[in-house]
């Protein structure tokens, strides 16, 4: 097992009605209360920047719940945050923070809203263009405290240091990160997922599974416990996504998917392991050029990537995935000792089941279905390598490899 640092900061309030704790959390974690050294002290009523997407939170009541909890605070709003969050909104938000002396940012939404809020919170202290901090995370300094109110199970952004931002003018979708980005608190109420459209539930689950795959398919370091955690998250998604699609208000299903989302990308699943991600960098280019739904792109790319890298060196890992997650050859306590041919049968069946699962959840499974042809494939492959070092991936990939994978997705 590799050495690691595991930094836990987020105060997670999980369960029905947890929005009632928002007033307490804002009072506790705004920049006045935290002070420069983290001490709690008496402060004036905090100024809050409320960040959200479209009108859904007003229809389902979450917006009113938040306003009630924030009564007495001075509230500014930054709304209209789109999927694949755009740098233009971040610039607008940073300006609002400076003009209104904002003390804390409250994000109501999923990954796009929370990622926007993180970079806005950093932009409040940055004199230049916020895009600079996306291009170079070393330029991130102080960051306003962020509280996340989660409305979709997908990215895990509510408990991690990452943010992904799109610049459609330059066809760039890039990630940046800082420990200071980690939200001070997260309100996770599974009932807030009841009104999600089916495709968002499905695409969100694909995102959770992809985060887990990226940390599961890595070179063996003996991190057995971490890998077992990953398998449990994958089994949770496979068990509960179909339930949530059939019964949108099934609390058990929504709660398990919501917690899977958080744990899949709060750094726990990578403890003791290492290596570059692959499917996310590839999908980021699809989103950068075509602005597609992130989870849909991942669901399309992932099975093709799996097939492309399956070989004599990776077959055991894929067979373990098939046996431990999909229960293929479940009558066996272990697949140790099986021949390469037997392992290959299990591995291929696991990949087939992965693709069939995404398709059964209602996700388009080809690029053609979502209006993407082969005209920009080589360009996207080139940009994937330009912005990411994939030499330390589970299986290292070149530009030519990525072009082939993308063509398999057509």
By the 10 Å C-beta count (0-12 exposed, 13-18 middle, 19+ buried), 382 is classed as middle
pLDDT in tens, 247-306: 999 999 999 999 999 999 999 999 999 999 999 999 999 999 999 999 999 999 999 999
- According to the CATH classification, is domain 11-192 in 3.40.50.1970? yes
Helix (H), strand (E), coil (C) string for 245-300: HHCCCCHHHHHHHHHHHHHHCCCHHHCCCCCECCHHHHHHHHHHHHCCCHHHHHHH
Q: How far apart are CA 205 and CA 259, in angstroms?
A: 12
Q: How do residues 112-166 score in pLDDT, each as one tens digit? A: 999 999 999 999 999 999 999 999 999 999 999 999 999 999 999 999 999 999 9
172: Cβ contacts below 8 Å, ≥ 6 apart: 166, 288, 383, 387
In 3-state terms, the chain is what percent helix, strand and coil (to 5)? 50, 10, 35
If residue 87 lies in a helix (H) or strand (E), which one and from where to where? helix 87-99
Claim: this prediction has a pTM higher than 0.85: yes
| CATH number of the domain located at residue range(s) 197-408 in this protein | 1.20.1090.10
C-alpha to C-alpha distance for 308 and 349, rounded to whole angstroms: 14
Which of these, 222, 223, 57, 66, lies nearest to 151 by C-alpha position? 57
The domain spans of the chain are: 11-192, 197-408
């Amino acid at each position: 097992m590799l050495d690691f640092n595991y930094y836990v900061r987020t105060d997670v309030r999980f369960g029905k009605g947890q929005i009632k704790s928002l007033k307490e959390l804002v009072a506790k974690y705004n920049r006045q209360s935290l002070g420069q050294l983290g001490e709690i002290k008496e402060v004036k009523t905090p100024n809050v920047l409320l960040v959200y997407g479209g009108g859904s939170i007003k229809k389902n009541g979450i917006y009113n719940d938040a306003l009630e909890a924030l009564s007495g605070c001075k509230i500014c709003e930054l709304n209209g945050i789109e999927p694949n969050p755009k740098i233009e909104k971040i610039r607008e938000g940073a300006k609002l923070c400076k003009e209104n002396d904002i003390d804390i940012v409250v994000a109501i939404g999923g990954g796009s809203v929370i990622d926007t809020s993180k970079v806005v919170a950093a932009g409040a202290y940055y004199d230049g263009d916020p895009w600079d901090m996306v291009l170079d995370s070393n330029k991130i300094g102080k960051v306003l405290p962020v509280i996340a109110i989660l409305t979709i199970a997908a990215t895990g952004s509510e408990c991690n240091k990452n943010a992904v931002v799109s610049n459609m003018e330059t066809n760039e979708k890039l990630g940046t990160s800082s420990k200071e980005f980690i939200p001070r608190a997260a309100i996770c109420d599974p009932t807030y997922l009841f009104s999600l459209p089916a495709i968002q539930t499905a695409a969100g689950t694909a995102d959770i599974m992809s985060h887990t795959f990226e940390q599961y398919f890595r070179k063996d370091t003996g991190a057995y416990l971490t890998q077992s955690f990953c398998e449990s998250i994958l089994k949770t998604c496979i068990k509960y996504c179909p339930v949530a699609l059939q019964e949108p208000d099934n609390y058990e299903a929504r709660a398990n998917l919501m917690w899977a989302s958080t744990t899949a990308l709060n750094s726990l699943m990578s403890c003791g392991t290492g290596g570059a991600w692959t499917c996310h960098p590839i999908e980021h280019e699809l989103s950068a050029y075509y602005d597609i739904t992130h989870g849909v792109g991942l669901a399309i790319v992932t099975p093709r990537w799996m097939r492309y890298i399956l070989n004599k060196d990776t077959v055991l890992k894929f067979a373990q995935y098939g046996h431990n997650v999909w229960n293929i050859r479940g009558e066996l306590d272990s697949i140790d000792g099986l021949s390469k041919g037997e392992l290959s049968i299990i591995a291929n069946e696991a990949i087939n089941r992965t693709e069939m699962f995404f398709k059964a959840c209602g996700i388009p499974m080809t690029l053609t279905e979502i209006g993407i042809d082969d005209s920009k494939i080589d360009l996207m492959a080139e940009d994937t390598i330009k912005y990411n070092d994939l030499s330390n991936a589970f299986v290292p990939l070149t530009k030519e490899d990525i072009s082939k994978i993308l063509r398999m997705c057509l």
